[in-house]
Structure 1
């Protein structure tokens, strides 16, 4: 069984740990986290082994970046690339109950938790995170580092930009696009294209500003 290092001792990482233990796909060696206070402690029975940069020293282990923010995941992936961690080192974790229809594609480093649904010809990029209960409908295309909170639903033919973030129970109408680094708030109903970098909230969703992810809408 291949070893796996989880980057970031976060809530998401704990969910991934539980998923991996259920599937038996990997043997989790432990967490890597830059918080010195966590070093040496156990999180859900797995040790925090050291800082993130130590991933470069575990040459035979797969790695998975388990940070909730797509921006933060991109920063860590870029940082590890500068240390020689190649794209092939990244694991992809998919809950055993998730059905993968023919024609769907999932990029390296992505995480799909329990009850995620993919219907037909869905394409997810690298380092995408889909929390429980997310629905991807036919012909959706998602760029790298996008994040979907629990219960998010996309209609058919939706385009999601790089590191976009969609809040819990939000929904996106078919053939609509969400720009790179845009944020969609919790429970929002998106009926029109969301430009790059903007934050949209409400029903129907409307713009409230720019500047990236806001915790209030997670």
Structure 2
């Protein structure tokens, strides 16, 4: 005689309530970490300081996270997910909604690349504390290998857009564009440049135009219409993480 497998029972009301309470407690701890970092820097984020900030015992946070690194990794992974989603959403947005980041003569594929790249810079400028944590600019460094998959997913957004536009070496050009966008943010963070966000976007736009002119077939390079796109040389670089 066989016994049919029973479906897992639906969670009870008490279980759902405990799950909501757990989610709320975790979010309160993460929020406290973000606020503490914003006011005093990421190096000040410790389990003791977080407990003081949320007015609980020192052991409270350990019920929901294994330690400070677990909290920071959670924030970093969430940051990469939000960055990827922001770039993906921007790439799909109608050009009329983001005219500042595109040219009137851009074909759809090229316009999408521009919008995604500018969304990356927008994220870094609007979430500076989180961006610094994600890329080790805030005085605290987490192993890149621990969030490699999430970082790779950010780069994959641009890689896919470049490939769709006809780029035969998309990973190489993603690395080039990332170096430009990230370099601009890093210089701003350390106080080596004193420019506003519009100027940073203008610098990124120049780099985008130069890169796309070389990377894409000539018809897809409207801003340099008198110049043929360079033929790809060499082999694509290895995997990269944004």
Q: Does the TM-score normalized on the shorter chain lie above 0.5?
A: no
Greater helix fraction, Structure 1 or Structure 2:
2
Greater strand fraction, Structure 1 or Structure 2:
1
Q: TM-score of the superposition, structure 1-length normalised?
A: 0.29
Q: Which has the larger radius of gyration?
A: 2
Q: TM-score of the superposition, structure 2-length normalised?
A: 0.27
